Amino acid sequence: MAKIHQTFVCQSCGAVYNRWRGRCEACNGWNTIVEETGATGPQAGPVKTRPSRARGRVFALEGLTGEVKEAPRIPSGINELDRVTGGGFVRGSVILLGGDPGIGKSTLLMQASAAMARTGERVVYISGEEAVAQVRLRAERLGLSSAEVELAAETNVEDIVETLSQGRPPALAIIDSIQTMWTETVESAPGTVTQVRGSAQTLIRFAKTSGTAVILVGHVTKDGQIAGPRVVEHMVDAVASFEGDQGHHFRILRAVKNRFGPTDEIGVFEMTDMGLAEVPNPSALFLAGRDHAAPGTAVFAGMEGTRPLLVEIQALVAPSSLGMPRRAVVGWDPNRLSMVLAVLEAHGGIRLGTHDVYLNVAGGLRISEPAADLAVAAALVSSLSGATLPPETVYFGEIGLSGAVRPVAQAPARLKEALKLGFAKAVMPQGRGEGGDGALTTEALRHIADMVAGIASNGPRRGASRRGHNPPDYGDDD
């Protein structure tokens, strides 16, 4: 039996201490350590109830080529969701769905439940946060009240597992949310890491033995961690996060970990009055409302998994009144921005040391590809010089520290998407995919300096030269 006494557990990463401290040594979080009563040690979980035996029980070992009775995957009926899971929920698997409160997790899962229930599968939706009436109200609003989803408001996992074990095992069970669940085998209060871990363990065991696909909803803390469930992340088969900001209508479902599928696919949804609508052509959505005439905007031909995605990168470079100029980034890696700025200074002949730099990926999208370097550089140079970039041009390519423009993967797919959306030209690295398929002109770059010169030759806007700094040394075309 595990020893029961007071322990101090970090609510962010699950590290256990024997006395309180202000800062967790494991994850460096401040004020995350809370006193808990319960089993100690990193393996603390359900208390062992079986009497210990001197010898183990013999179990059957099986070959890899056993019979699989049912289809291993159950499509959800929502294409954008299936794209992220890799073609549907795997039977017996557990998915953790994280996201900010109010982003639409419950809405998405209610729609998925209803769609799956309509195919004749048994679907159970357990809400630990809302009363049955509230969940019904939402279903009604979504026009889904006729779907045969089984509904309950419950928080005790033993009761939930016992109930789900009655009758035909459900194809899908949704637990909304894991932070509200509690198990009798652990003494800590609900919501603590120990409880979350204990409850998740019980539910995961149920999924594996019954073949039910279980989705655990997890809340996200201010700093983007799935609170508490960070300790659950390694126990589950897949982790997906639902992102977007309240100011924008669209939402992105992203796989963070997936034992049964890709991790670089995204699903794009739009929040409407009637719930979440799938967005099959996200590029058109992200480019909507683009201001062609403004300097400082460049279209990046990106990839999200197997799907090309065009997005607008916006930059604003303005003289700074601060000793330490501001660099603010939304939707991209700030370290990468610093690197691109340094390369532009060192190899592009541009001085940005006395300028504030703001960078924004339009539409609230977050991109992580290094291939965005070139589009970012183009937007920055355009904003600084006041020269508008040609509106029908897309940019992609990675920039090395030497200023070299390096090839990136899947150039043909990027070009094809650009062509489909009416673009005429691509500025890209030399090498693979270059030449396109005829209809699109490509400008292959070897070095960042070539692009800087190219943008400058578009001619800066009249009166664009700014006070208080040396104008960048572009070729003078006035």
Residues that bind ligand TYD in the complex, under the rule CB under 6 A: 99, 101-107, 138, 141-142, 271, 273-275
Instruction: Give which of Mg ion, ligand TYD, none residue 70 binds (C-beta under 5 to 8 Å, depending on kind).
Output: none
Instruction: Give which of Mg ion, ligand TYD, none residue 254 binds (C-beta under 5 to 8 Å, depending on kind).
Output: none
Q: How far is the CB of 273 from ligand TYD (least distance, A)?
A: 6
Instruction: Give which of Mg ion, ligand TYD, none residue 274 binds (C-beta under 5 to 8 Å, depending on kind).
Output: ligand TYD
Give the nearer residue to ligand TYD in terms of CB position, either 102 or 167: 102
Q: How far is the CB of 215 from ligand TYD (least distance, A)?
A: 12
Give the nearer residue to ligand TYD in terms of CB position, either 13 or 215: 215
Give the nearer residue to ligand TYD in terms of CB position, either 140 or 437: 140
Our separate counts of H helices and E strands in the chain read 11, 23
Instruction: Give which of ligand TYD, Mg ion, none residue 271 binds (C-beta under 5 to 8 Å, depending on kind).
Output: ligand TYD
Give the nearer residue to ligand TYD in terms of CB position, either 249 or 446: 249
Give the nearer residue to ligand TYD in terms of CB position, either 271 or 367: 271
Instruction: Give which of Mg ion, ligand TYD, none residue 297 binds (C-beta under 5 to 8 Å, depending on kind).
Output: none
Let me know if 406 is exposed, middle or buried by CB neighbors in 10 A (0-12, 13-18, 19+). Answer: middle
The closest alpha carbon to 79, from 71, 89, 87, belongs to 87
d(CA 89, CA 183): 26
d(CA 182, CA 184): 7
Give the nearer residue to Mg ion in terms of CB position, either 240 or 361: 240
| Preceding amide of 199 cis, omega within 30 | no
Q: Do β-strands 213-219 and 250-258 pair in parallel, antiparallel, or remain unpaired?
A: unpaired
Q: How far is the CB of 174 from ligand TYD (least distance, A)?
A: 11
The closest alpha carbon to 104, from 250, 232, 213, 258, belongs to 250
Q: How far is the CB of 111 from Mg ion (least distance, A)?
A: 13
> Which 3 state secondary structure label does DSSP give 425?
strand
∠ CA 54-59-64, nearest 5°, is 145
Give the nearer residue to Mg ion in terms of CB position, either 106 or 393: 106
Q: How far is the CB of 217 from ligand TYD (least distance, A)?
A: 7
The closest alpha carbon to 176, from 250, 239, 96, 259, belongs to 96
Q: How far is the CB of 134 from ligand TYD (least distance, A)?
A: 9
Q: Which long-range contacts (CB under 8 A, 24 or more apart) does 270-275 make?
A: 271/104, 271/107, 271/244, 274/141, 274/142, 274/143, 275/107, 275/110, 275/111, 275/141, 275/142
Instruction: Give which of Mg ion, ligand TYD, none residue 102 binds (C-beta under 5 to 8 Å, depending on kind).
Output: ligand TYD
Q: How far is the CB of 219 from ligand TYD (least distance, A)?
A: 8
Q: How far is the CB of 136 from Mg ion (least distance, A)?
A: 14
Q: How far is the CB of 411 from Mg ion (least distance, A)?
A: 41
Give the nearer residue to ligand TYD in terms of CB position, either 217 or 448: 217
Instruction: Give which of Mg ion, ligand TYD, none residue 309 binds (C-beta under 5 to 8 Å, depending on kind).
Output: none
Nearest residue to Mg ion on Cβ basis = 106
Give the nearer residue to ligand TYD in terms of CB position, either 182 or 250: 250
Q: Which long-range contacts (CB under 8 A, 24 or more apart) does 253-256 make?
A: 253/80, 253/81, 253/84, 253/108, 254/84, 255/84, 255/85, 255/86, 256/98
Q: Are 126 and 159 in contact (CB under 8 A)?
A: no
Instruction: Give which of ligand TYD, Mg ion, none residue 275 binds (C-beta under 5 to 8 Å, depending on kind).
Output: ligand TYD
Give the nearer residue to ligand TYD in terms of CB position, either 269 or 395: 269
d(CA 280, CA 342): 38
Q: How far is the CB of 297 from Mg ion (least distance, A)?
A: 36
Give the nearer residue to Mg ion in terms of CB position, either 106 or 388: 106
Instruction: Give which of Mg ion, ligand TYD, none residue 256 binds (C-beta under 5 to 8 Å, depending on kind).
Output: none
**Footprint of Mg ion (CB under 5 A):** 106
Q: Are 81 and 88 in contact (CB under 8 A)?
A: no
∠ CA 297-253-98, nearest 5°, is 120
Q: How far is the CB of 421 from ligand TYD (least distance, A)?
A: 28
Q: How far from the centroid of its chain's Cα atoms is residue 42's Cα?
A: 28
> CA-CA distances (angstroms) from residue 375 to 283, 310, 347, 350, 405?
16, 11, 16, 16, 11
Instruction: Give which of ligand TYD, Mg ion, none residue 273 binds (C-beta under 5 to 8 Å, depending on kind).
Output: ligand TYD
d(CA 254, CA 445): 32
Instruction: Give which of Mg ion, ligand TYD, none residue 101 binds (C-beta under 5 to 8 Å, depending on kind).
Output: ligand TYD
